[in-house]
Amino acid sequence: MKWLDRIPYMLLVPLAIFLALAPFSPEPHLWEKLKMLFAGTLLRPIDIFDLFLHGTPLLLLLLKLSLDVSRKT
Does 37 map to a domain?
yes
Q: Which domain holds residue 28?
A: 19-72
Is the backbone of residue 40 left (phi > 0), alpha (psi -120 to 50) or beta? left
Does 9 map to a domain?
no
pLDDT of res. 23:
86
Does 6 map to a domain?
no
Does 14 map to a domain?
no
19 residue type, one letter:
L
Phi–psi pair at 10, nearest 5 degrees: -60, -25
pLDDT of res. 41:
94
The number of domains in the chain is 1
Does 7 map to a domain?
no
Task: With a cut of 70, list the residues of the chain below it in pLDDT.
Answer: none
Asked if 65 and 30 touch (Cβ cutoff 8 Å), the reply is: no
pLDDT of res. 22:
86
pTM: 0.83
